[in-house]
Structure 1
Amino acid sequence: MATSTSIDDELLRAAQSVAASQGSVLSRRQLYALGVPRWLVAREVRARRWARVGDQAVCVHNGPISDVGRRWAALFVGGPRAMLDGASSLVASGLERFDEGRVRVSVPRGARIRHRREYDVRQTRRWSAQDRMTDAGIPRTRPAVAALRAALWARTDREATYVVTATVQQGLVRPEQLGLELLRIRRDRRRPLLHEVVNELLDGARSLGELDVARALRERGLPAPARQVLRRDGRGRYYLDLYWPQFRLVVEVDGIHHSWAENVVGDALRQNALTMQGDRVLRLPLLGFRLEREAFLDQIEEAMVAAGFRRAA
């Protein structure tokens, strides 16, 4: 016959197993459904083997809570219909090099909310069950929905532009999906900005830098470039950021990833191949564009003039 101690150990192992996919955080409802009684939860917390996470969740160890665990804890605060939303949803879906800040959770209007300072749990009229990801992962909104909401809730227009562009650049969503979701947004002060950004992305831009440079060139009255033009060389296919075929001019917009060691050699080989094919290549590092914007634009215009461009009188 099993002893009470062995039964308790089995229950604790079951809790550990289920919690493994949730950053070691379980809701009290989950624990009770597993058969773990209240007194056993209280004992583990009192012995400091487990730790309470608010009044709705427990971490089944006594170390720091992981980012995944924090997201699950925020969902438990929001209740059974809660979903990660905005930047939190995107990061949970794989968005890299982006700080989500406080975990953002959306719940429908009328839902009961237990407010906690470390989580941003809000009722929203935009909540819809159809927006939820259908995989078995953490409850969250679909990337196209999350990207646009992250932009609507961003602190600045620049942050809004960046998060939408990064979501496309990192392959979480296609511009066409953003376009469809954007039709659902009827009223918001950032709606015109998002229409502009999504239209740029549909037209081929794949980085925040390309959007900035293309806009600056347009403001200067310079000819619009073709974007993401496919080229081939002996090593395979690649895309040009900005290209003016009439001037045989290429401008490569270099974000921080171009300075990573694995990209330096490939960038150099592509530039050499373009030069040997008769194109003139200008490199535009984003940091330089922020610091010496007009100087780089002057160089682009000078290259166009050298190739025959003339402004209308």
Structure 2
Amino acid sequence: MRLEVRARRWQRVGDQSVCLHNGPLSFTGHLWAAVLQGGPRALLDGEAALVAGGLQHYRVDRIRVSVPRGARVRRTPQYDIRQTRRWARDDAAPGSGLRRTRPAVAALRAGLWAVSDKQAAYVVTAAVQQGLVTPEALGVELLRIRRDRRRLLLHELVNDLLDGARSLGELDVARELRRRGLPEPDRQVLRRDGRRRYYLDLYWTDLGLVVEVDGIHHTWAENVLGDALRQNALALDGLTVLRVPLLGLRLAPEEFFAQIAAAIRHAQSLAA
């Protein structure tokens, strides 16, 4: 082995792994090398564990590996190997293959360790949208987190994913409209379209403007048809419909409220 490495036919990856070629190492190869570098109790964690478990269209800048308190840490600039008080044997995902934390654990830790609130919300939501974890499982795991600066944000986000905060989202929008000096809408207005009955989240009757506050369930396939039929029926009645995802209220509130304000001003100018 040493002869092959010295001859540069093979290459060392950290001090625990050898790659049997001298070309670029694949991301999966780096995942294996990171776990081996961490030792026998090491687990891929956070966003790296999610990607190893199937998360798509997500880039990991540095692979995180967790080991328990007191474990030997073989540090390397390539990988982020850390002791953590949150390590638990039951956190490991079942089955063979790459040792990693379960999706619910990995998603929440990815949120805790994200470089920004925006990234935290994105990675947790992506894990749910891609079917790696359910909001209910996140809620159970979240009870284990007693102290962290991002704990409240994650509680609010999981409520959004459970759709338990949809009405709260509507209240947030109404409160922000008042703060901006914009007219308040009616809330949960009943509409009928043939035999279909549905409620409009926020409705300015005199302006012909509707704002729908969408929870994550609106992205699920079984709800796409109903949402499209409802929006088309409203458009045929001459109403303007804006959609505001709950996640959008957290990540890009200024842009969404600017659109609502512009729609209100346009409708007022037409009514004048």
TM-score with structure 2 setting the length? 0.72
Alignment of 1:91-106 (within 5 A): 91-106=51-66
Residue 44 of structure 1, CA deviation: 2.4
User: Counterpart of 2:241 in structure 1: which amino acid?
Assistant: V
User: Counterpart of 2:91 in structure 1: which amino acid?
Assistant: D
> Do the aligned partners of 1:133 and 1:140 also contact (CA within 8 Å) in 2?
yes
Q: Which has the higher contact order (CA 8 A, sep 6+)?
A: 2
Choose the corresponding residue for 1:199, options 159, 175, 194.
159
277-286 or 166-175: bigger deviation? 277-286
Give the 3 Å change call, closer, same or farther, for CA 105–145 of structure 1 in structure 2: same
Alignment of 1:224-239 (within 5 A): none
> Do the aligned partners of 2:212 and 2:244 also contact (CA within 8 Å) in 1?
yes
Deviations along 1:144-199, one digit per CA (max 9) or x if unpaired, are 10111111111222222222222212221111111000001111121112111111
Choose the corresponding residue for 1:88, options 48, 63, 68.
48
> Do the aligned partners of 1:144 and 1:181 also contact (CA within 8 Å) in 2?
yes
Q: Does 1:220 align with 2:177?
A: yes
Q: What CA RMSD, in Å, does the superposition of the two structures yield over aligned residues?
A: 4.2
Structure-1 residue corresponding to 2:18: 58
Distance 1:212 1:117 in 2: 43
Structure-1 residue corresponding to 2:119: 159
Choose the corresponding residue for 1:295, options 249, 254, 258.
258
Give the 3 Å change call, closer, same or farther, for CA 225–180 of structure 1 in structure 2: farther
Residue 109 of structure 1, CA deviation: 0.6
Distance 1:225 1:163 in 2: 31
> Do the aligned partners of 1:284 and 1:296 also contact (CA within 8 Å) in 2?
no
Distance 2:203 2:186 in 1: 11
Q: Does 1:249 align with 2:210?
A: yes
Give the 3 Å change call, closer, same or farther, for CA 197–46 of structure 1 in structure 2: same
Structure 1 residue ranges without an equivalent (≥5): 1-40, 227-239, 259-266, 306-313
Counterpart of 1:193 in 2: which secondary structure? helix
Of structures 1 and 2, the larger Rg is shown by: 1
Deviations along 1:36-77, one digit per CA (max 9) or x if unpaired, are xxxxx2232233221111211000111100111111111111
Q: Does 1:127 align with 2:87?
A: yes
Choose the corresponding residue for 2:96, options 136, 148, 158.
136
Percent identical residues: 57
Structure-2 residue corresponding to 1:170: 130
Distance 2:169 2:267 in 1: 19
Give the 3 Å change call, closer, same or farther, for CA 216–250 of structure 1 in structure 2: closer
TM-score with structure 1 setting the length? 0.63
Residue 291 of structure 1, CA deviation: 6.9
Q: How many residues were matched structurally?
A: 241
Distance 1:97 1:223 in 2: 38
User: Counterpart of 2:176 in structure 1: which amino acid?
Assistant: E
Residue 251 of structure 1, CA deviation: 3.9
User: Counterpart of 1:54 in structure 2: which amino acid?
Assistant: G
Q: Does 1:68 align with 2:68?
A: no
Residue 80 of structure 1, CA deviation: 0.7
Distance 2:235 2:129 in 1: 27
User: Counterpart of 1:129 in structure 2: which amino acid?
Assistant: R
Distance 2:266 2:102 in 1: 44
> Do the aligned partners of 2:170 and 2:202 also contact (CA within 8 Å) in 1?
no
Structure-1 residue corresponding to 2:37: 77
Give the 3 Å change call, closer, same or farther, for CA 132–98 of structure 1 in structure 2: same
Distance 1:135 1:223 in 2: 52
Give the 3 Å change call, closer, same or farther, for CA 177–277 of structure 1 in structure 2: farther
